Amino acid sequence: MIKKLIILLTFTLCIYKVKAQNAENKLGAWYMYNGSHKLSEKFALKTMAHFRYFELASEFQQEIYRLGLNYTINPKINFTLGYSFVNTDTEYQVPSTSINEHRIYEDLNINGKLKKINLRHRIRLEHRFFNSVDSHWFRYDLNGSYPISKTLSVYAFNEIFLNIDRSKRFVQNWTGAGFLKKLNTNLKLKLGYFYLKTPDEGFHRLQLGIILNTNHLKK
């Protein structure tokens, strides 16, 4: 039954077509790698690379690379300090100059449980620097996952973005859901969909990802 649901979701998203030629009405895709590499009992290295497109496999929108050092305060709370490099093409189907952006971020992650639902609250402060301009954003992400079997779970999330330098602070809201498939102790696959809402537009995005977790502690 679960396999049929995944196949149906994939098929539905892949045949999604509209006549309009603007980016808002296109199904875009994010191809993602996320990694966590445990260095000691308290420290881990966080790595990430995303490749984002206005369409499923064309019309490049953005690439982002992230590296962070994570510190575990206790089993429920951890903190990350990191750096991101972002290259963005802001125009759809129009030749334009890409924007390079540097970001410093701080994450506070709080993990919890509601019966069988695993919950994660992530509070992020993000400092963005590009074209001699800087801005400071606040992000809050609520993520929940529910195990269907030993190797398959479903997840849902909502994340809000606020620019704390503006009087009109709302920037974006992401709402999505999908499946996580555990291949082995270290590797998971991610398939999902989310809707990205800005003050003026909304975008539909498919998520295809690999999650790699490794442990480098001496045994």
Q: How far is CA 162 from the centre of its chain?
A: 16
215: enclosing H helix or E strand: strand 202-215
- Counting the structural domains of the chain, the total is 1
pLDDT digits (tens, 9 = 90+) for 37-80: 999 999 999 999 999 999 998 899 999 999 999 999 999 999 99
Dihedral (CA of 137, 161, 114, 207) sign? negative
Q: What is the pLDDT of residue 11?
A: 47
Question: For the segment 146-197, what is each residue's pLDDT rounded down to a tens digit?
Answer: 999 999 999 999 999 999 998 889 999 999 999 999 999 999 999 999 999 9
pLDDT at 207 over 70: yes
* Per-residue confidence (pLDDT) for residue 15, from 0 to 100: 42
> Residue 208 is part of a domain; what is its CATH number?
2.40.160.40
DSSP calls for 34-64: EEEEE-SSSEEEEEEEEEEESSSSSSEEEEE
6-28 residue pLDDT tens: 444 454 444 444 333 577 878 99
Which structural domain range is residue 189 located in?
2-215
